[in-house]
Every structure is written in structure tokens, then in C-alpha cells.
Structure 1
């Protein structure tokens, strides 16, 4: 049965629409540089690949970005019948089409309102996308809806403590989302009706030579530290650089991600 969108108050709807627009715009702007700058994100996607089922015919990559993981999934399952990459950002999808002309369907859509019929997929994969979705419960309910009975969802997301060093360097940075912990994801998955829920946690640390490289790494994936309408001054940058330098380690300036991998079965 299709799940109808829940009713929302106009103010709530406007706020959600504004959020989706801002996220889509930020990621569209980042699209041309994403593959080069998102080395941390690519590294974390490897954990998903180790959990893949042996067979899958219909596959959805949720929050596919420029399509690198989608294309890998297409190669991993050469006998697939259908593979789709879905993203909120039109710019990311344009980059995906340019980089991957093979027979992959690229779809612009919202993870909380998937444009697919019930039981459409054997496998849903998502690497570092659902933390951008305000309504986790609705997203996981949508993922379960489009999965066939026995289908799997493999989702990477981020937990509290992620980008703590960036938070130390900047005062109240807008880039830092309200990350949700493992217990919150388990509750949402059980509430969505998944019959098997496994959540594993690990810490991933990456190093960069200077603040500019750190900022490129998060801007390159659509994040930002300036709030809308607020320009960063040279003084802001100097203070952030000074504060970040206090954290320097031998390999460089650290950036820590607290990674959660959700393995869910309908």
C-alpha cells in the first residue's frame, strides 16, 4: 500500500521546502568538484560494498550525487534488470549523466517522498545522504515501502561528534547538522517496520594539510560554515585557522567522522 504524505501546517511545509531548496542548491554548486574533493566520502562508501548481498536485480542508490557508487553497483551486479540513482540536486544528476553514460536511470527526487511504486527494489543503498533529511522516520518508512519483502537497505550516515574539529574552529557553524545517534536510528528502523535491524558504528579520521583543504573537503560535499546572507570576514578566517592549528597532528589537521552503517531487511 502506498503511504500518503502526512499533512503539515503551512509554516512547517514552507520551512521544509526552504531546507530542501538550500540543500539542493548547495549540492548542485558542489557537483563539478565533488568527485575530486569527497575522498573521505568515497572511502566510507567502501564499508557498504562489503555488506552487499550476493544478488540484486533492481537497485536504488539514494542520494547518489555524481553517481560514482551507482556506477560501481551497476558493475557489481552485471545481470541487474534496473538500477537508479536518485538525488535532490539537479546539478549532481547532470554531473552523473555526464560521467556515467551507461544505462542508469537518474531521478530527481526527495528521500522522504520517493517517486516509486511499492515493492520496486531488491536493494536500496545510500552513502552519507540521510543525515541531510530532517524527517528520519519518514525516510526509513519510504525506503521500506519501496523494498520488496526480503529486500535489503544498506545505509551509511553520521553520528554525533562528526566534524567536531570543524565545530571547534568555527563559532556555531551552520555546516554542523544535528546528527542522530545509533539508538535513534534503531528506533526509526523498527518503527518503519523492518524485521531485521543492525546498526554498526566506527570512527573514521582523515587529515588535511591546512584549513583551506579542510574547508574544501566539506564544501565539496555541499556543506558550509557561513549562514545564509552572512559573509565570512578575514578575521573570521584568521580565528578559525588559529583555533584549528591547536588540533594539528603529525599527518595534518584532523577531520573525524562517526560513521553508522544500517543494515536493514524488510
Structure 2
């Protein structure tokens, strides 16, 4: 059972499943970056892969093509997104509706855990990362992208100019993410800026609606029509262009770890 906010997120992305890939320019790039990082990290010997937040399958299809012999477990919070990813027979694997913050697996299961632009919807990101690392096999890697604090900076600035609060969540900075990963022996994080193609507030809102990213941060209601018009005008006056800051992280579980007072390889 998921909570009310997670259900709204699931419903919003499910409603966008049919048109998602028409609006998913940054999402395509983020998926490709994750797949490239994963292949450099583990080009061979990958037997079992878990994907968190598959969406319509942008990353899923790429991963399946790179590791055709691996067992894939593909998950998403939204049943409609999951069905879209599984449709057409393009990907072989096991498809599960699952909250990535509460994986149903225990013990070391996976050689790779991959996720592209899903972690920003988690309630407790540091705890979720630790939980996912726990289900890696020794030597396995968690590789993910999430939204960074620099995302939608011009949209936020337009809200501030109009003295209204933005519904965009408070994403972590790169320094924040690095601090979250500092407790792991083998981890790193970096960022990439990706400019949106569209110009103007209407294009930005169409992009967000098209991908289903319309649930505001917790305890923030959508703006009424008058305030929204003022913010849109301020955004357009500032040039009407915005960007994603993609934060990318990798954690690799040690091959030598204590268990029952001893060690294993």
C-alpha cells in the first residue's frame, strides 16, 4: 500500500504514459548516460539487473540490448507506465509494480541496479540508496540519475519575482548527493546540465504535463490562474528557457565484506 502522495504521482505518470516519449528529451539523454556508465562499470559478467522507475522503457530497452543474456527485473510505481514498458514484446524480463524506496527483495540479489530520473520522487533519498545497496551482490553497482538543485532555475526565479512559492521540489545539490554517498567505500557523483528545447512558459508546462511531472512538492498547492499567468509572463520576460541539472551517482558494493564474524569474496 502506497501513501496518498505516491498514489498521486503514480496516477499522474500513468495518465502521461501514452504521450510520455513525445516530451522526454532530457529523459532520453539521462537514460543513455546511465546505460553508458553501467556498461563501463560492468561490461561483462552481469547476470541479474534491477531497474527502478522504468517509465515507458527508455532505459529498459537500452539495457536489454547491452546485456541480452541478463535476467531483468523491471519496476515502476505506476502500473500504466509498467504496462507501456512491457508492451510490444520489445523487452524480455519480469515486470513488477513496486515503490523503489521499498524494494521487495532481501539479501544480495543484483549485479546492477539502475534508475534514471526516479529518485527525486523518493521521500528519504539517503535511506533509499542504502536500502538498494543492501540488495547488490558483492561487486555490484547502483547507478542512478536524479534531479539537482539547479533544475528549473528560471522557473523558480519567476516565482520569486512574483512573490509566490514554486511547486518544484527542493532537489539536492551535487554537494548534498556527494555527502549522502560519502559513507560508501566506492562511490562518486557528478552533474550534467541539459537545456530544454522549448522556449516560453507554455512549452515548459507542456513538457512537464507530457511526462506526468505535475504533482507539486508536498504541502504546496498548485497556483491559481491569476498567479500562474503572472509567473508565466515573468518567465517569458526572462527569456523563457530552462534546464535540468542531472545528478548522476554510482555506488559499488565491496567484494569483501564481513558476514557472521568472517569475510567472503
TM-score (norm. length: structure 2): 0.83
TM-score (norm. length: structure 1): 0.83
- Could you tell me how far 1:99 is from its partner in structure 2? 4.5
The answer to whether structure 1 residue 256 and structure 2 residue 248 are counterparts is no
- Could you tell me how far 1:78 is from its partner in structure 2? 1.6
The answer to whether structure 1 residue 184 and structure 2 residue 159 are counterparts is no
1:76 aligned partner: 66
Deviations for 1:55-104, whole angstroms, at most 9, x for unmatched residues?
Answer: 22211111111112111100111221x11211111121121122445322
Aligned residues: 243
1:242 to 221, 225, 233: 233
2:87 aligned partner: 98
The answer to whether structure 1 residue 204 and structure 2 residue 197 are counterparts is no
| Structure 2: gaps spanning 5 or more residues | 254-265
The answer to whether structure 1 residue 130 and structure 2 residue 141 are counterparts is no
* CA-atom RMSD in angstroms: 2.3
| Structure 1: gaps spanning 5 or more residues | 1-13
CA contact (8 A) 1:164 1:256 kept: yes
* CA distance, structure 2, for counterparts of residue 96 and residue 200 of structure 1: 28
1:37 to 18, 23, 27: 23
* CA distance, structure 2, for counterparts of residue 42 and residue 128 of structure 1: 10
- Could you tell me how far 1:231 is from its partner in structure 2? 7.0
- Could you tell me how far 1:258 is from its partner in structure 2? 1.5
Distance 1:65 1:208, change over 3 A: same
Distance 1:161 1:120, change over 3 A: same
CA contact (8 A) 1:67 1:100 kept: no
Any runs of at least 4 consecutive aligned residues in structure 1 with deviations exceeding 6 A, and if so which?
A: 225-229
